Amino acid sequence: METTSATTHREPPRNGLYFAGGIVFLALAKAKHVLRGYSTPKPFALSETDRCIDYDLKVANELLGHLGTYGGTIENAHVLELGPGSDLGVGLYLLSQGAASYTAFDRNELAARVPAEFYTRLGERLGIPVSMDRVHYVARQDFDVAAALPPASVDIVLSNAAFEHFDDVERTVHQLSQVVKPGGKIAAVIDLQTHSRWIRDKDPNNIYRYPRWLYRLFYAPGQPNRVRPAEYRRFFERAGWCDVTVRTSTRFDPRGRSVHDDFRGCESLDACSIVLCATRTLTGGARP
């Protein structure tokens, strides 16, 4: 596994406190979903227009950087973004940078509620008129990519902090194998940390402290799935992808922190996030 730049977190380990605190945050996250549903993936409101645009442009440029390092390009490409979140700013920027078309696929129809003023402001920032002519937005509760898109219709897949929310990652990867053309590429940033903000800062791998049965008690759609880097690699290789690379992009110091036996001995427990890149095999068939 390759390693890139890292950010170090160092907090004195307080395992008992963090174990109990994590349970509280898991319960709060589930209660929030029951009461309000899944509202926004960003830590700030869409009404903060310029802040949201800054975030979209940062994400888009980082994904393009990862794709470029891997040898891919969006020039004249049909691009699929998995998990666009609260708006389609990333895709509109990609179109301005040469993509032929942009499809956004999500479980929740969050981007359907974006005010027109947001895209007007985005166009002003980009210095071009914003048009939805080459944009296709699909939201399905079953998250069935293969049922939503034509076979072999996608050249490039991009995703930022979405794979960790998929309920069945292996199923999704196999579906991508159906809709991505042979030779197509993926670049995905995957967040491996707990997502509750206070405990995330204090104890980044808090979600790995719990046995599977306890963690599932607090399940709500979008809960981090705790899939590890080696599993992502295996899923893609089994589904007919090659040249799979997994790079740690940010890490923390895990010394003195406990994890449940289910995860003890797992690789890269110090990884906060990874970048996964892969190429769809030219033969088109999934490997056994």
What confidence tens digit (pLDDT) does each residue in 79-124 have? Answer: 999 999 999 999 999 999 999 999 999 998 989 889 889 999 999 9
3-state secondary structure the chain: CEECCCCCCCCCCCHHHHHHHHHHHHHHHHHHHHHHCCCCCCCCCCCCHHHHHHHHHHHHHHHHHHHHHHCCCCCCCEEEEECCCCCCHHHHHHHHCCCCEEEEEECCCHHHHCCHHHHHHHHHHHCCCCCCCCEEEEECCCCCHHHHCCCCCEEEEEEECCHHHCCCHHHHHHHHHHHEEEEEEEEEEEECCCCCHHHHHHCCCHHHHCCHHHHHHCCCCCCCCCCCHHHHHHHHHHCCEEEEEEEEEEECCCCCCCCCCCCCCCCCCCEEEEEEEEEECCCCCCCC
- What is the predicted pLDDT for the residue at 38? 61
What per-residue confidence (pLDDT) applies to 3? 44
Predicted confidence (pLDDT) per residue in 159-172, tens digit: 999 999 999 999 99
Categorize the per-residue pLDDT at 46 as very low, low, confident or very high, splitting at 50, 70 and 90. confident
pLDDT at residue 14 tops 90? no
Model confidence at 284: pLDDT above 70 = no
pLDDT tens digits for range 195-215: 888 889 899 999 999 999 999
Pairwise pLDDT comparison (81 vs 29), residue with the higher score: 81
Q: What is the pLDDT of residue 33?
A: 77
Mean pLDDT of the chain: 90
In percent, how much of the chain has pLDDT > 70? Answer: 91
The answer to whether domain 2-280 has CATH 3.40.50.150 is yes
pTM for this model (two decimals): 0.91
Rounded to an integer, the average pLDDT of 143-159 is 98
Predicted confidence (pLDDT) per residue in 30-42, tens digit: 888 777 666 667 7
Q: What is the pLDDT of residue 285?
A: 52
